[in-house]
Chains A and B, each alone.
Chain A
Amino acid sequence: MAQTSNKPDLRTPGGFNAQIDNGMGAMLGRLTRDRSVVRMLVLLVAAFAFFTLLRPSIFLNPLNLENIAVSAPEIGILAIAMMLAMLTGGIDLSVVAIANFTAITITTLYAGLAAGNPGQANSLLPLILLLGLALAAVAGWFNGFLIGVIGITPILATLATMQILNGIAVVWTGGQTLYGAPESLSVIAKTTIAGVPVLFLFFLLIAVVVAVLVNVTPLGLKLQLQGANPVAARYSGIGSRGVLTSTYVTSGLLGGLAGIVFIARNPTASADYGSSYVLLVIVIAVLGGTNPAGGFATVAGVVLATLTLQVVSSGFNALRLSAYEYSIAQGVILIAVMVADQMRFRARRRKRDLQPPVPAAPETQGKS
């Protein structure tokens, strides 16, 4: 427990009070947060430096940097959704399907209206977007219902939702790619503020909102506790139904927002878009310090992990490596991070445990 540097002395009452008055943000799971965020920062810088050294001309090209900033948001938002589900000890395999479903809904509605009356379609666009998000929320609620009320394990419940949505999407689109997504979205996506793409700012905004939700709201605290130990949460009067439903509605909504980013970046929609994202998004969440067994996660870590993976992806491009090599890298990173965490966890526990190991709390073994 190396936590001496940046904190007041907590042993004296004054220091203790000062610390606690720093507010909830400072208080909740500070140790783990600092560690994973710092680690991610180091990794991000290292990855950036590595590819810059290898291919400076291609990698430092402003176009390349802009590309990273524009392609990161959709993945990052999905990763934040995954992080939320993992924070409660679950997993959401359906986020990508929800995103596609939203994108398809919006594209179909808009294209249908625009065929008759383009002006009307544009004026109704906000409504169409809201409808898409509402559907995403409903899909999320369905997950929450299956998990929180019926009691199905998250992996199976979200797997089923994914299958159902995916099937509907395939039928609906006939397996084809849809064109005719709202152009105004594409226009917005192309604008930049002070050189930063609007999409990227949108991503940061969402990250901040979720960070606030997780850290300084009653729901966020309950969500963390639910993930840390669902039984103790129940015995503390934390209603798992409400917490899980809110969590999966939120992750569904985030999926919907990612769907909107999909069509803003690329005005097409299809049922199979981003089929490799599920693995990628889990890799990012875990790399960003999310404990897949629940209870611990940081939004900042996930944002940094998103950027790191995007840097790696674009670096692989610069090195002319294929998508398959990138997928190998993802798998290796995922397992390496888990192994490193596990070894550190064991070492730490050995060092400071005053109690015999608790058999009732098996580590991360088993399924989420």
Chain B
Amino acid sequence: MSETRTLPRASGLARFKGANNEGVLALVLVVLIIGMTIISPSFFSVGTFFAILRSSIVPLVFALAVLIVIISGGIDVSFAAIAIFAAYTAVKLTGSGNFDPGLIAIVLFACLIGALLGLVNGAVIARFRLSTLIVTLGTQGIFRGLLVAYIGSRYIADLPGSMSAVSTSNLISLEGGGANAYLHVLVVPVVLLCVLIALMLRRTMFGRGIYALGGDMEAARRAGFSVVRIQIALYVLAGVLAALAGVFHVILGRNANPQDLVGTELDIIAAVVLGGASIFGGRGSVLGTVLGVLLVQLINNSLILVGVPTAWQRTAVGVLLVIGVGIQAISAKRESKRVLVNDEVKE
């Protein structure tokens, strides 16, 4: 009823913007692609497209894990440690490639480890109601330390056959004409995961509970949600997703290195936040997250193409984060003013 009362131009724009600025993000992506094509015509090709998708595989699965934690009002910086812990341990247990229990068994085992480590996070956070950042910073140190100190510090170059077979499988291979383009097969499970998580968030009470938790924890408790159980479950799920990302990383890189991944946490968090998830909880979508990850990967890719040293990528992500979050923060200030406008006179 107060739709008409909001700023006149907002209503038309609002629909395009989407609940979490997905529209704006998509627009930025399109503009970027057009810009890059103008600068360097070779950019616009199936090969580039496939390359960006391939480079998004691992970050995207991580981003899903981060997304559900952020929606619930928390923040997780331990996911990379969980990922490499789970993946490396799984590979190590295959006798560094000598014994091959099959891909499914390896993946399941990694997921189990991920779930256990996630359970540690969730239990500490839910039971003692501690700052999620501080807890996961602590567990990150613990997980990583345990991995390198007690499980293995050596780089494993020989993956079990079932894993290395996947490494070289492509879903689509376009060859010839001097420009070969390969779409890696792991894109399939990633798409599947995105759809599953999106459905979970939207269509299950667990998913709605995560949003409710992020919106107002006390209200969630009063509404009968089992806050502790939801919180623990979501960190377990985040652990499983992280473990999957770890396995994918190992498969794509064709080796298992315990020093990998740690240090990339912040890029992922940046992508999720750019994708419209609110760091205060309660807001965020899978679509936005996918766009956020693609945007970061696209920019990284473009920088290389334009000849900017890869070292600038970190700075670029930082600048992107400032711009993205800055715009969110400023529009949030405006929004709070607009809410007041609705307080007007009831007819």
Q: A: which residues have CB within 8 A of B?
A: 91, 146, 150-153, 155-157, 159-164, 166-168, 170-171, 174-175, 275, 279, 282-283, 286, 292-293, 322, 324-332, 334-335, 338-339, 342-343, 359, 362-368
Decide: A335 and B138 in contact? CB cutoff 8 A: yes
Contact between B333 and A167, CB atoms less than 8 A apart: no
Q: Is the CB of A365 within 8 A of B141?
A: no
Given the known interface contacts A324-B148, A332-B142, the answer about A365 and B129 at a Cβ–Cβ threshold of 8 Å is: yes
Chain A residues whose CB sits within 8 angstroms of the CB of B146 once the complex forms: 324, 328
Kindly list chain B residues whose C-beta atoms are within 8 Å of the C-beta of A339.
Answer: 124, 128, 130
Complex: how many Å from CA A362 to CA B153?
41
Q: Which residues of the partner chain B approach A359 to less than 8 Å between Cβ atoms?
A: 218
Best-buried of A283, A342, A366 by chain B (most CB within 10 Å): A366
Measured CA separation A161–B315 after assembly (Å): 9
Chain A residues with Cβ below 8 Å from B137 are: 279, 282, 331, 334
CB of A163 within 8 A of CB of B318, answer yes
- Please determine whether B140 and A279 come into contact, CB atoms closer than 8 angstroms: yes
A335-B135, A338-B135 are known contacts. Are A162 and B142 too (CB-CB below 8 A)? Answer: no
Q: Is B24 an interface residue (CB 8 A)?
A: no
Q: Which residues of A contact B270 (CB under 8 A)?
A: 156, 159-160, 163
Q: Does B201 contact A (CB under 8 A)?
A: no
Query: Which residues on the A side are within 8 Å of B311 (C-beta)?
Result: 167, 170-171, 174-175
Interface residues on chain B, size class: 35 or more
Report the bound CA distance from A151 to B145 in whole Å.
36
Q: Is the CB of B130 within 8 A of A342?
A: yes
Q: Which residues of B contact A292 (CB under 8 A)?
A: 131, 133-134
* Chain B positions within 8 Å of A151 at CB level: 329-330, 332-333
Q: B132 an interface residue at 8 Å Cβ cutoff?
A: yes
- Please tell me if B254 contacts chain A, counting CB pairs below 8 Å: no
Q: Can you report 14 A-B residue pairs in the complex whose CB atoms are below 8 A from each other?
A: A163-B321, A171-B309, A171-B311, A282-B134, A292-B133, A324-B148, A326-B145, A328-B141, A329-B145, A331-B140, A334-B134, A364-B131, A365-B131, A365-B132
Pairwise interchain contact A366-B73, C-beta atoms closer than 8 A: yes
B residues adjacent to A (C-beta < 8 A): 73-75, 124, 128-135, 137-142, 144-149, 153, 217-218, 263, 266, 269-270, 273, 279-281, 309, 311-319, 321-322, 325-326, 329-330, 332-333
A159-B269 contact, Cβ under 8 Å, with A293-B131, A335-B135: yes
Q: Would you call A156 and B141 a contact (CB within 8 A)?
A: no
Give which listed residue, A161, A327, A366, A367, contacts B318 with CB less than 8 A.
A161
Which residue, B132, B140, B311, B312, has most C-beta atoms of chain A within 10 A?
Answer: B311
Structural contact, A338 and B130, CB atoms closer than 8 A: yes
Shortest distance in angstroms between B116's beta carbon and chain A's nearest beta carbon? 16
B134 to chain A, nearest CB (A): 6
- Whether B129 contacts A157 by the Cβ 8 Å rule is no
Most buried by A among B309, B317, B325: B325
Partner among A155, A167, A324 whose Cβ is within 8 Å of the Cβ of B145: A324
Q: Are B144 and A327 in contact (CB under 8 A)?
A: yes
Q: Are A160 and B330 in contact (CB under 8 A)?
A: no
User: A163 touching B266 by the CB < 8 A rule?
Assistant: yes
CB distance from A319 to the nearest CB of B (A): 13
Bound-state CA distance A343–B129 (Å) is: 10
B145: min CB distance to chain A, Å: 4
CB distance from A347 to the nearest CB of B (A): 13
Contact of B218 among A152, A286, A362, A364 (CB under 8 A): A362
